[in-house]
Amino acid sequence: MPAPGVDPAKVRDIHDREMKKFVDARPRTMGLLERARAHMPNGVPMAWMTIDQDIPVYVDRGEGAGFTDVDGHRYLDVNVSDMVMFCGYGNPEVASAIAERARSGTQFLLPTIEAVEVAEELARRYPVPFWQFTLSASQANVEAIRIARAATGREVALLFDGHYHGHFDEGLINLEDGRLVPVQRGLAKATTGKVRIAQFNDLDGLRRALEPRDVAIVLTEPALTNNVHLLLPQPGWHEALRALTREAGTVLAIDETHTCVVGPGGATRRFGLQPDIITIGKSIAGGVPLGAYGLSEPLARELDVRREQGGTATGGTLFGNPLSMAAARAALTRVLTPAAYEHTAALGARLADGIDTAIRAARLPWTAQRFGPRSGHWYGPEPKTGLQALARRDRLLTVTQRLWMANRGVWEALPGAGPTIAVPAQAGDVDRYLDAYSSFLRAVAT
């Protein structure tokens, strides 16, 4: 539905003008897209690159807090490549670690010392002692669900409305008009029978969802991101979630993939959580593919290959490869330091203050978000549940903001998710974002 305070016809007009400006200024990108369509659907190597962006840019190089496209346009990247590049582009510590490891072997299908050191560092940060590695957070969540099913003998995975945990079958089931439906085509129809969806921050609904005692795992972010922008837990929510899952004999898994940027122990440490499983990915290896999951001691026993009934279905040929582990060791121990989190949190607060000021100056009935280095806005008052948050989306306005910001040197590929400040960013970068953002609000406000 249209966001309050804006005229959809006016937004459409701005969108069309900004789209023409965007296309006209990027002839090399347009040429490469046309050339690529001969061998890649949509002209890109993965459909996501166009689903939310209409038209992407072809990138030449990245450096620091941004990147440059093939037409020479430099962007401040506040999407940080969907949270992957929180360490920044071309980080020298990560680049050096990658180069050194590449010279001495990138894969053996055997462990190396880097894996030990990364597992030790993650165990120091998060309240689970045992760690395993994948190539993405999506795969980490798949394995978390399988381990929970093996441990409990149950099948149902409980997620919260507005969730996103990756592109695997159970993670692509949404709630629409009270029915469970696949988000996209290609999923087995039976998948809906293995998923239950409740509302974040709704304790009564959570109790009802757990009551049949058939739920193997509750998988949730500590604060919901992605589809619902940013949905923070209400007081007492996490304490009740932990108590109710224990009472029901259900595994509790916390997905820190997006929220790990708020501090050395992510939102798990910030909120004082005690989950059975933690999953994580994206930024922890400085842009090199890596996912990981941490387990409590009882769940770690499910991976004991000496079990008479056979092992749990986990693993992959390239999981735990030395290149990913070397990059993660550098990112976690030399880049993602307490000082880095303090720096990005301070800039995030500056950003949130500026967004709030811009909203009030434009007299829009919106609300600013703030969560460490991450900010943004809701189109209205702060929602409490995913259902409320999803009802406040405005795709046309979101896409128009993306175009407006890109044409002014700010890359916000998923503006509905809100901007995130990367480690190498400075105060001037925040001001650059706010200048473009404020001008956008002035343009669309009625």
Beta-strand runs (E) in 11-89: 59-63, 66-69, 74-77
| Domain edge (last residue) among 285, 302, 335 | 335
Give pLDDT tens digits for 335-358. Answer: 999 999 999 999 999 999 999 999
Q: What is the mean pLDDT of residues 39-67?
A: 91
Tokens of 31: 């040429």
Q: In the prediction, which pLDDT does 429 show?
A: 98
In this structure, the answer to whether residues 123 and 192 fall within a common structural domain is yes
Q: Is residue 308 scored above 70 in pLDDT? A: no
Tokens of 153: 């003998």
Distance, in Å, from the CA atom of 146 to the CA atom of 144, rounded to the nearest integer, reads 5
**Chain mean pLDDT for the chain:** 95
Stretch among 63-77, 303-317, 386-400 having the lowest mean pLDDT: 303-317
Q: What is the mean pLDDT of residues 96-106?
A: 98
Q: Which of 78, 80, 18, 88 is nearest to 54 (CA)?
A: 18
Range of the domain at 221: 92-335
Cβ distance 161 to 388 under 8 Å? Answer: no
SS3 393: coil
Q: Sign of torsion, CA 90 166 389 18?
A: positive
The more confident residue out of 417 and 260 is 260
Q: What is the mean pLDDT of residues 297-325?
A: 91
In this structure, the answer to whether residues 160 and 97 fall within a common structural domain is yes
DSSP codes joined into one string, 332-385: IIIIS-HHHHHHHHHHHHHHHHHHHHHHHHTT---EEEEETTEEEEESSSPPSS
Greatest alpha-carbon pair distance for the chain in Å reads 68
Give pLDDT tens digits for 155-167. Answer: 999 999 999 999 9
**β 410-411/179-182 pair status:** unpaired
Task: Classify residue 3: in a domain, yes or no.
Answer: no
| Domain edge (last residue) among 292, 308, 335 | 335
In this structure, the answer to whether residues 199 and 299 fall within a common structural domain is yes
Q: Is residue 80 scored above 90 in pLDDT? A: yes
Give pLDDT tens digits for 233-258. Answer: 999 999 999 999 999 999 999 999 99
Task: Classify residue 1: in a domain, yes or no.
Answer: no
For the chain, give the number of residues. Answer: 446
| Domain edge (last residue) among 282, 311, 335 | 335
